[in-house]
Structure 1
Amino acid sequence: MTVLRHWNSLRDIQELQNRVFNALGTGSGGQCESRAVAEWVPVVDILEDEKEYLIKAELPGVTRENVQVTVEKGRLAIKGERPFEKEEDGRKYHRVERSSGTFLRSFNLPENADAEKVEAEFKDGVLFVHLPKQEKAKPREIEVKVN
């Protein structure tokens, strides 16, 4: 069976970026240990308010068990897999437009994000990653002593 692959311009850009990083000997820019190219990339929205940053990733057809969120060295990574549905007896695919396979999205954390308090929740096919902001250090006056 021929598998149709959904065209994704972002994937083409990522492939080019990985080739450039590999040619320069820097690997894949620290984004992914694997050299495999993702079949699809979930779309995200990133919002900010006075208390936190919020990343919303659309992951339709992905189960909570197939999603992993990690924070390491100032980067947040969302990775997982949406498996390809197998053909059932007596049924054949005539068109395949929904992408499947592994995915990886990674983001640099803002300086004021508290990496120790990151929380994630999964609801109705959407992953919500909460990045609380650290409280700003308040300036304090230092008393100058005279000897």
Structure 2
Amino acid sequence: MENIGGTEPGETEERADSLSYFVEEHEPSWVWSEDSYGHYLRVDLPDFKMEDLKLEVVSPGETAVSGERVVNDNSKCIYFHQKYKLPENSDPENITAEFDGGILYVTVPKKKLTTVKEPEYEENATTTSDENHHQETLAEKSSMDDHRLFSMKYWQREDEATPLEKAFEMIKKNKGILLTAVLAFSIGIIVALHRLESGGD
């Protein structure tokens, strides 16, 4: 966790009161972005310097940026104190920040993902009627498919197969012959077209 610049919370107001500054509150523009590694907060702070700013984690789910600068021959103090809610899956202990060209870049790493544990099912778990129906439908379909595959593969009872299944099975068994027939047919068409073109000349 980086600490940028200077003053403790509440010190800005005390300093302003003690030196009789004209105090102006500033509301910086900001935006969050993210990628697979972290969350990134960009705060626009034109005319501020790094020593004018402070970054702190105020709670596990919140960070704060504050700052002040004196202008007009020490007669005016511009300050701000802004809190930002950290996105989910943030690692607040490893926040870093960089200030460049009037922009504060705060990097909040994402927590490393833990492996997802498979849900455990109890034997006497209750499910809704829709879930039961869905499970029974899938189970029945799987059982029917298994029965059909088992009967065709091991018992050669092709009478249980649909016409489409029979056609696919025949193509699989005779794919060499079928490929040769398609190839011969294609060559025949090419030769016939070549003869037509030659005869036409």
2:62 maps to 75
Matches within 5 A, 1:2-13: none
The one of 118, 126, 143 aligned to 2:95: 118
Matches within 5 A, 1:38-77: 39-73=25-59, 74-77=61-64
Kindly report structure 1 stretches of 4+ aligned residues shifted beyond 4 Å.
Answer: none
In structure 2, the CA distance between the partners of 1:47 and 1:100, relative to structure 1 (3 Å rule), is farther
Deviations 1:107-131 (A, max 9, x none): 1112300001100001111100001
The RMSD of aligned alpha carbons is 2.7
TM-score of the two chains, using structure 2 as the length reference = 0.44
TM-score of the two chains, using structure 1 as the length reference = 0.59
Corresponding pairs, count: 100
Q: Distance in 2 between matches of 1:127 and 1:76?
A: 13
Larger radius of gyration: 2
SS at match of 2:93: helix
In structure 2, the CA distance between the partners of 1:109 and 1:33, relative to structure 1 (3 Å rule), is farther
Higher-helix-fraction structure: 2
1:131 maps to 108
Q: Distance in 1 between matches of 2:38 and 2:72?
A: 37
| Structure 1 unaligned spans of 5+ | 1-31, 88-98
